[in-house]
Amino acid sequence: MVKKPFSMSFDLKTGNTEENKTTSRFLSNMKDMYMDVDKAEEMIKKEDVKVYDFTELGFDEVEQDLLYGTSIVYPGKVGNEYFMTKGHFHTKLDLAEVYYCLSGRGYMLMETPEGDWEAVLLEAGKAVYVPGRWAHRSINIGDEPLVTFFVFRADAGHDYGTIETKGYRKLIVEKDGKPEIIDNPKWK
Ligand SMILES: [Fe+2]
């Protein structure tokens, strides 16, 4: 499909836009990804809180195109582990992505299938380049929404299954009021 130029607005504080479709992930959609699953289940019984939203353009996934939108991770913790996105590799593993932080504070936690990992601080005005082969997950360490704007090649695809099965090698938890990166005891 040939497209015409267009523009849309995103709120810098909330990441919201009227033009994009929004998908929400609740704690019940990802409880097994947290270190303390019992705690997650206990929380869900009281209230199945929303962990994050992301907005999407409804384009076909073709290599000529780019997809962009916002990711909004809400503040919160399961035990001492911060709220985060599920995280994913791209189905076309070699394809990269850029995230630009609009507001909030957090980390982009990344790892490769070979075992390299990086945690890059996200704060307003900071752009993170996620090269091909690096799984990526954003983690909110602050007390307001962590809002990032992302762009990637439209045919990259999302592989959530690998992270769901194996977990991430590293986790970010709060210790003595500060974020600390630890080994994931559940990593396979
Ligand atoms: Fe991605």
Q: How far is the CA of 144 from the centre of ligand 1 (A)?
A: 23
pTM: 0.96
Please name the helix (run of DSSP H) or strand (run of DSSP E) that holds residue 125, with its range, or none: none
Question: Which of 116, 108, 58, 113 is closest to 85 using CA atoms?
Answer: 108
Centre of ligand 1 from the C-alpha of residue 1, in Å? 23
> Can you give the length of the chain in residues?
188
Number of domains in the chain: 1
**DSSP summary character for residue 143:** S
Residue 26 lies in a domain: yes
Report yes or no on 178 lying in a domain.
yes
Q: Is residue 5 part of a domain?
A: no
φ and ψ at residue 29, rounded to 5 degrees: -80, -10
Rounded to an integer, what is the distance from CA 178 to the centroid of its chain? 20
Report if residue 75 sits inside a domain: yes
For residue 158, how far is its CA from the centre of ligand 1 (angstroms)?
A: 7
Q: Please give the DSSP secondary-structure letter assigned to residue 92.
A: S
Spatial CB neighbours of 179, under 8 Å, sequence gap ≥ 6:
82, 107, 141, 172, 173
d(CA 38, CA 161): 22
CA of residue 49 to ligand 1 center, whole Å: 23
Asked whether residue 1 is domain-assigned, the answer is no
Look at residue 30 and tell me if it is in a domain.
yes
Query: Is there a contact between 103 and 72 (Cβ–Cβ < 8 Å)?
Result: no
Q: How far is the CA of 34 from the centre of ligand 1 (A)?
A: 20
- Amino acid at the residue 106: G
Low-confidence ranges of the chain (pLDDT < 70): 1
| Tokens describing residue 139 | 């983690």
Could you tell me the CATH number of the domain that includes residue 154? Answer: 2.60.120.10
Q: Give CA separation, 56 vs 80, 82, 150, in Å.
A: 30, 24, 10
Q: How far is the CA of 46 from the centre of ligand 1 (A)?
A: 32
| Residue-by-residue DSSP string for 31-82 | GGGSS-HHHHHHHHHH---EEEEEEE------TT-EEEEEEEEPS-EETTEE
CA of 156 to the centre of ligand 1 (A): 8
Q: How far, in Å, from the CA of 102 to the mean position of ligand 1? A: 17
List residues, by chain if needed, whose CB lies under 5 Å from ion ligand 1: 97
Query: What pLDDT shows up at residue 79?
Result: 97
Looking at the domain assignment, is residue 16 inside a domain? no
| pLDDT attached to residue 1 | 66
Per-residue pLDDT, 74: 98
Question: What pLDDT is recorded for position 188?
Answer: 84
Q: How far is the CA of 147 from the centre of ligand 1 (A)?
A: 15
Q: How much distance in Å is there from the Cα of 123 to the middle of ligand 1?
A: 19
Asked if residue 155 belongs to a domain, the reply is: yes
Range of the domain at 123: 21-183
* CA 88 to centroid of ligand 1, rounded, Å: 6
- The CA 131 to ligand 1 mean position distance, Å, reads 10
